[in-house]
Amino acid sequence: MAKKQPTILVHLPSYRDPELVPTIKDALAQAKYPKRIHFGICRQYNPEDQFDNVDEFRGDKRFHIMDVLYTEAQGLPWARAQINEKLLTNQDYILQLDSHHRFAKDWDETLIEMHSGLEAQGYKPILGAYLPLYTPFNDPEGRTMEPWQQTFACFYPHGTIFIRPGLLHGWQDMTEPPMSRFLSGHFCFARSEWAKEIKHDTDIYFSGEELNLTVRSYTHGYDLFHPHKLVVWHSTMREERSGMLKWDDDYKLGVDWFQKQDYARKKIRVLLRTEEDPTIDLTGYDLGTVRTLRDFEKYAGFHFKRKAVQKYTLDNNYPPNPYIADDELWEQSFMGSFYHLVTIYPHDFPRKNYKHILVAFDDATGKAVNHKYITGQELENFMHKGQQIHYEEFFLTDVKPTRVVFWGFTEEEGWVERIENKI
């Protein structure tokens, strides 16, 4: 008698995505045991699109499909919540994804083996990471052939963390998954009980989802790991979806999604205990009681109230961070994280012969804390194509900048136009 294989629910929240059907087909084609692969699909569709039609799968009992008209959709965590609460049944595992992926051969067996190996060591594991890239129109040639991890970039002013991808350094010599500081929205593999216990907060519109899941999962007793092998690939923002993402459609419909984002960020600050607001109800979406928030901060090297980080974390060393029992010494172990959204307009710097434009951050005494020069193609596009300079600047500092200075320089006249803004 054949051994019954444990089942996996592939969790796919799809919003007007041409990659939905190719993702489904590749997941089945590359699985070692395709019969055990189930799909929970929240299909948020526009009837005019047709590219995400899944009628060919509706007669298959492994497919659990919820159709939502795109004008009724309420954001990514909302769609994820529909899958976990309405489509997840008795499957053994859940693979939380987006809806644009490609899969390595025998991906199902590889993930279960990783997870089972960690369980055998006494962990309550979740495998998660920002996945390496594939390109739909150049696949498989365009795939990144190294596993990635998630790394800290900076604290945003509103209190969440800017998480970015990075190489999973040392992966070639790894024999098991290393520990992680974060969970990923587009790739998590765990026992299905995780998806039932750590519910997606539908008040979160998009950003902040991952930090919310991370902190709640950790304090509920889950252990975070990166897969050390290539298992699944992910495609990020793509030209063929330009103008039809959720926030694009909300804007066209007159929906104030900025307000939704602001409320979600406030709720996350309350979760992280950096803000108090008695009107915010965290019932069902609060921290766990197995570990404390401070336990997570010491594990990952963050200080949420101070928006600070330890150098060990900044250097992308794998957690847990070196333990510091003394609270005073622990407080002294952090560096402050600074973030600023830089915008420079062509009408303020009208010349066509700048050698560079200085961007400097000064403290209250006028002393420079950090600076950089805008040069090269970015400067050429600014001067000759009218493209504004717009980017996120972040760095660690023990002195908080109070102003940002933009100052143009030409070889003919030296320092010319100068603009100073308070921070």
Chain segment 324-362, per-residue pLDDT in tens: 999 999 998 998 778 899 999 999 999 999 999 999 999
Would you say residue 305 has pLDDT above 80?
Answer: yes
In 231-283, where does DSSP find H-type helix?
246-253, 257-271
Cβ neighbors of 401 (< 8 A, separation 6 or more) are 338, 340, 361, 362, 363, 369, 370, 423
E-strand ranges in 125-261 read: 125-128, 148-155, 161-167, 187-191, 223-225, 232-234
Tokens 């304090």 sit at which residue? 219
Would you say residue 107 has pLDDT above 70?
Answer: yes
pLDDT at site 1: 47
Q: Radius of gyration over alpha carbons of the chain, in Å? A: 23
Phi, psi for residue 239 in degrees, rounded to 5: -60, -35
Ordered domains of the chain (ranges, CATH):
8-241 (3.90.550.10), 336-422 (2.60.40)
pLDDT at site 338: 85
**Dist. CA 80–CA 12, nearest whole Å:** 8
**Dist. CA 23–CA 45, nearest whole Å:** 16
Instruction: Using DSSP, state whether 28 is helix, strand or coil.
Output: helix
Tokens 């009107």 sit at which residue? 279
Would you say residue 296 has pLDDT above 70?
Answer: yes
Would you say residue 243 has pLDDT above 80?
Answer: no
Question: How does residue 206 score in pLDDT terms, banded at 50, 70 and 90?
Answer: confident
Its pTM stands at 0.83
Average pLDDT value for residue range 287-299:
97
Mean pLDDT over the full length of the chain: 93
Higher local confidence (pLDDT), 249 or 233: 233
Would you say residue 205 has pLDDT above 60?
Answer: yes
pLDDT at site 238: 66
Would you say residue 257 has pLDDT above 80?
Answer: no
Would you say residue 245 has pLDDT above 90?
Answer: no
Query: In this predicted model, what pLDDT tens digit does every residue of 47-72 receive, in sequence order?
Result: 999 899 999 999 999 999 999 999 99
